[in-house]
């Protein structure tokens, strides 16, 4: 069980410097991916990181994948969360999310597709990460396949554990991302799976609540996939140091399988 006293569980700052963000300014015209991605995986420079590109969004593999085809939907411009996106982006983000989920289900028919976000927001004018990863201060929606279990679905298991910290509110299922109408400016956790009849939004509305860093990623890795918690391989910071060789193979397989596409 993950305890709320975890270090790196919360970070508060009055301002965020976009230059500290791994995604800020990385997806201008002609970009093949982020500088950080190619520093860690130089052999993938020619292949490129971007799978799907639209006017305002890209689909890329996670830099430290905990499953095959662990992907991220990322806005090209700097937004802290999907709740902070302009309403005019709704149709476009729904299109790229639909494309990702449909392909994921095709490639992994015996898996449950899960999507999640640690959405940044403000409480009493303080910026709160809500368990964010601490390096990427930029909206990114995780989408990944998880082999179906025998007893209970992954979405249900995640909901039960997250509910120890925050109360979930039902929202529209993907590809709809109707988050801001529920959260306002508060930080939140977003969760959806392909066998849930709705998505769930868990709102953090108090500074007294502490959400552990990378909470959902860690839950999936350690409690569902049974990755060694002590080895910290679920933590993306540890992964890119100790698992880079395996990561490169996983990422190359993903990039070859998905190809590239413009929307």
Q: Domains in the chain, start-ordered, CATH in brackets?
A: 12-262 (3.30.428.10)
DSSP H helical segments within the chain, as ranges?
A: 35-40, 90-107, 154-162, 180-183, 215-218, 236-242, 244-258
Residue 209 φ then ψ, to 5°: -90, 135
Structure confidence by residue, pLDDT tens digits, 211-261:
988 999 989 888 888 876 666 678 888 888 888 899 999 999 999 999 998
Q: Which of 84, 70, 97 is nearest to 186 (CA)?
A: 84
Structure confidence by residue, pLDDT tens digits, 34-93:
999 999 999 999 999 999 999 999 999 999 999 999 999 999 998 999 999 999 999 999
Structure confidence by residue, pLDDT tens digits, 118-159:
999 999 999 888 877 666 788 999 999 998 874 568 888 899
Q: For residue 149, give the DSSP letter.
A: P
User: What count of other Cβ atoms lies within 10 Å of the Cβ of residue 74?
Assistant: 22
Q: What is the pLDDT of residue 179?
A: 94
pTM (predicted TM-score): 0.89
3-state secondary structure of 82: helix
Say yes or no to pLDDT of 102 above 70: yes
Question: What is the C-alpha separation between 47 and 216, in angstroms, rounded?
Answer: 29
The dihedral region occupied by 232, where left means phi > 0, alpha psi between -120 and 50, and beta the remainder, is left
């Amino acid at each position: 069980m993950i305890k709320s006293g975890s270090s790196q569980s919360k970070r508060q700052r009055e301002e965020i410097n976009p230059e500290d963000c791994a995604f800020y300014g990385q997806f201008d015209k002609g970009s093949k991916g982020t500088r950080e991605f190619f520093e860690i995986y130089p052999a993938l420079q020619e292949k490129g990181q971007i799978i799907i590109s639209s006017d305002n969004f890209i689909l890329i593999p996670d830099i430290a994948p905990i499953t095959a085809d662990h992907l991220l939907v990322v806005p090209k411009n700097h937004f802290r969360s999907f709740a902070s996106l302009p309403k005019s982006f709704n149709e476009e983000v729904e299109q790229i999310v639909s494309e990702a989920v449909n392909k994921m289900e095709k490639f992994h028919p015996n898996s449950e597709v899960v999507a999640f976000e640690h959405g940044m927001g403000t409480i009493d004018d303080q910026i709160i990460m809500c368990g964010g990863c601490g390096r990427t201060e930029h909206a990114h929606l995780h989408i990944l396949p998880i082999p179906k279990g025998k007893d209970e679905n992954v979405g249900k298991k995640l909901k039960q554990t997250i509910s120890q910290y925050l109360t979930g509110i039902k929202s529209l299922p993907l590809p709809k991302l109707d988050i801001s109408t529920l959260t306002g400016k508060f930080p939140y956790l977003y969760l959806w799976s392909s066998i849930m009849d709705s998505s769930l939004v868990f709102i953090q509305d108090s500074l007294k609540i502490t959400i552990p860093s990378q909470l959902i990623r860690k839950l999936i890795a350690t409690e569902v996939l049974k990755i060694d918690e002590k080895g910290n391989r679920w933590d993306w910071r540890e992964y890119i140091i100790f698992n880079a060789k395996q990561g490169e193979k996983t990422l190359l397989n993903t990039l070859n399988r998905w190809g590239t596409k413009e929307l």
